[in-house]
Amino acid sequence: MNKLKVLIVDDDDFFRTILSTIIKKEFNADVFQANSGEQAILLLGEGSIYDVVLCDFDMPHGNGEVVLNHMFLKHFEIPFVLVTSRELFECGTSFGELTKQYCSFSFVHKQSIHKRLHHLIRTILEGS
């Protein structure tokens, strides 16, 4: 099996670094980082090498909805995990509709990230 490739998208440098460290340690993964939706879209490009995208919702220069919409329009089949301190319903109706259409969407509240993330990534790995 190839090494897991994870894209973390969050404007909080500290949170992104901590999450990256956890994923590298627990899954021996290659972790790539973007600090905005715009940067994530550039990294995703036309075809993606990532196995999973972990993305915040509230960011300047392109929020989580912009990233997920790009992935949807490009027909990417990469699991998208929204990692935010908001509740899902607070992200808006258009985002909620988009999540229903996307192939693989999950939601993790930042306060419970470590416990839920471990389970989600294990599930993704088992489905590959």
20-46 pLDDT per residue, tens: 998 998 899 999 999 999 999 999 987
| Model pLDDT, residue 112 | 74
Tokens of 59: 């960011």
Mean pLDDT of 96-122: 75
Which CATH number covers residue 60?
Answer: 3.40.50.2300
Half-sphere exposure of residue 31: CA atoms within 13 angstroms, side-chain side = 20
| Model pLDDT, residue 2 | 83
Q: How many domains are there within the chain?
A: 1
Answer yes or no: pTM beyond 0.85: no
The strand pairing partners of 109, in sequence order, are: 84
- Domain of 68 in residue numbering reads as 5-127
Task: Give the DSSP letter of residue 105.
Answer: E
Q: If pLDDT is split at 50, 70 and 90, which confidence band does 91 have?
A: low
Residue 10 has pLDDT above 90, yes or no: yes
